[in-house]
Amino acid sequence: MSEIKLKINGEEVTAEPGTMLLDAARKAGAEIPTLCNLEGLEPFGACRLCVVELIRGGRSRIVASCLYPVEEGIDVLTESEKVVRYRRNILELLEARWPLIDKALLEKYKVNTGRMARRDNFCIMCGICVRHCSERRKLNVLGFVGRGIERQVVSYTMRAKEFCPECFDKELSCLKFCPTGVIVNDCATRCPASRDEEAFAKPIRVRDDDNAIAVKKSLGDL
């Protein structure tokens, strides 16, 4: 099958069919930030930092470049006014959860760090730990519960007790890939040591009361 022709930031490029816009843009030299994208894992589109503006037939829309395949004849802008505004809003939300987020990104997009209500639970819902444990390790120690703002990453304690101690310091341990370090703080160090046999699932931030309440409510709805 012939290569697909498109424009990225005004430059004509070609890409193999099935290539995601993120990969095509980076190959063309564009810098696109991501937090949930990790080589070897299926694209997830959780962080939304990789959004780009796609223009076709005079109409434009914002899409997640890690999930959108290249198409013939489209124009892609990676730092347009719309994209910058969108990324700024996303970074404000992320910073409210994770105050240690890359300061260079905050400065680049002129993020107002005081606009959003703080909720320093450090879990940014990137899903890397969940996907890594299920796709690579095939252990399924971690998972999601809840919907919307109550959605949480949890550790299934019985499986954690069985598998986490042996996996803790290995090269393919989930803590090697967690961008915020919350796995190191809570899941790998606390969940395996838990003696609460009735706590089937515990939120990654076990010290966060709001998270614990949300998880309990979500599990009650299952």
> What's the rounded Cα separation, in Å, for the pair 135 and 151?
20
Residue type, 173: S
Task: Find the DSSP H helices in the chain.
Answer: 21-27, 81-97, 103-108, 128-131, 157-167, 182, 188-190, 209-221
CATH number of 4-108: 3.10.20.740
> What's the rounded Cα separation, in Å, for the pair 2 and 17?
8
Domain definitions of the chain by residue range: 4-108, 128-221
pLDDT at 117 over 90: no
Return the DSSP state at 69.
B
CA-nearest of 207, 212, 86 to 152 is 212
pLDDT at 189 over 60: no
Amino acid 222: pLDDT? 40
Amino acid 111: pLDDT? 94
92-130: b (≥16 Cβ within 10 Å) or e: bebbbbbeebeeebbebbebeeeebeebebbbbbbbbbb
Confidence class of residue 208 from pLDDT cuts 50, 70 and 90?
low
Higher-pLDDT residue of 215, 83: 83
List the structure tokens of 41.
């894992």
Q: Which helix (H) or strand (E) holds 131?
A: helix 128-131
pLDDT at 221 over 70: no
> What's the rounded Cα separation, in Å, for the pair 114 and 63?
27
pLDDT at 195 over 70: no
Terminal CA-CA length for the chain? 46
Higher-pLDDT residue of 1, 31: 31
pLDDT, the chain, mean: 85
Helices vs. strands in the chain: H and E counts, helices first: 8, 8
> What's the rounded Cα separation, in Å, for the pair 19 and 1?
13
> What's the rounded Cα separation, in Å, for the pair 44 and 222?
23
At 72-104, the pLDDT tens digits run: 999 999 999 999 999 999 999 999 888 888 999
Higher-pLDDT residue of 128, 174: 128
